[in-house]
């Protein structure tokens, strides 16, 4: 992706979206947006307990705690399964490799439509979620070297497990934007933007935080300028 293509992407996708656990905005504002691996670093989770969270499928969310820190929740991985990943990955990669890879990143959607596919999914539609809206340009300007782009939903294998490997994640300069421009609409040329490890200063780029249930906005928790 060259600079002109990046500018086009930002123009078409000026806002990034991150769905977080309900009630987590206060901690995110104070500690930043942390990947699963970064959370376990912070909470001192090691050994078998860490492996179960980081390298195994999570059929349900996991609550974690540590002295001096607020309670946190690591979200489930219901849209994935070991069997789906075995079909999707090359034989040199195991499902545990994929879980570890995903858990090392913080993920954002580039369109409201992609966000709503998640909030409307059967597993989530009856629950409330804190949704962060983030200035795409500001985040990229600040964290460009740590960003990868992906043309698929890397955390989903249902209903069809699309083929994937670690190369599905590209640094901005390496992303084949021109190829996807020929095949997809304006907001689908990149499906996911991810940042390695964490975004400790994410509050600087947040423009709005809302509570969503499905596609409905239940409450506004924060709006820049207000």
DSSP 76: P
Report whether 42 contacts 154 (CB < 8 A).
no
Given this model, what pLDDT does residue 136 score?
Answer: 98
| String of DSSP letters for 150-206 | ESS-TT--SSS-----GGGSEEGGG--HHHHHTTS-TTSS--EEEEESEETTGGGTE
The pTM for the full model equals 0.96
29 burial level (CB within 10 Å; 0-12, 13-18, 19+):
middle
Given this model, what pLDDT does residue 71 score?
Answer: 87
Given this model, what pLDDT does residue 226 score?
Answer: 76
List, for the chain, all residue ranges whose pLDDT scores fall below the cut of 70.
none
Report whether 93 contacts 136 (CB < 8 A).
no
Question: Tens digit of pLDDT for each residue in 97-142?
Answer: 999 999 999 999 999 999 999 999 999 999 999 999 999 999 999 9
């Amino acid at each position: 992706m060259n600079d002109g293509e990046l500018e086009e992407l930002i123009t078409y996708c000026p806002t990034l979206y991150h769905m977080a656990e309900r009630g987590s905005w206060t901690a995110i504002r104070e500690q930043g947006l942390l990947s699963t691996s970064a959370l376990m670093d912070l909470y001192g989770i090691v050994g078998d307990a860490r492996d179960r969270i980081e390298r195994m499928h999570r059929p349900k969310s996991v609550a974690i705690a540590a002295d001096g820190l607020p309670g946190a929740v690591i979200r489930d991985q219901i849209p994935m399964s070991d069997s789906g990943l075995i079909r999707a990955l090359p034989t040199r990669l195991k499902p545990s490799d994929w879980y570890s890879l995903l858990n090392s990143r913080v993920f954002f959607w580039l369109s409201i439509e992609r966000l709503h596919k998640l909030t409307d999914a059967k597993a989530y539609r009856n629950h409330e979620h804190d949704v962060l809206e983030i200035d795409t340009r500001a985040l990229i300007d600040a964290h460009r070297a740590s960003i990868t782009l992906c043309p698929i939903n890397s955390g989903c294998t249902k209903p069809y497990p699309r083929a994937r490997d670690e190369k599905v994640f590209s640094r901005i300069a390496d992303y084949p934007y021109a190829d996807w421009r020929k095949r997809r609409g304006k907001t689908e040329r990149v499906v996911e933007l991810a940042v390695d490890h964490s975004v400790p200063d994410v509050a600087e780029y947040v423009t709005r935080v809302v509570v969503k249930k499905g596609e409905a906005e239940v409450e506004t928790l924060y709006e820049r300028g207000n």
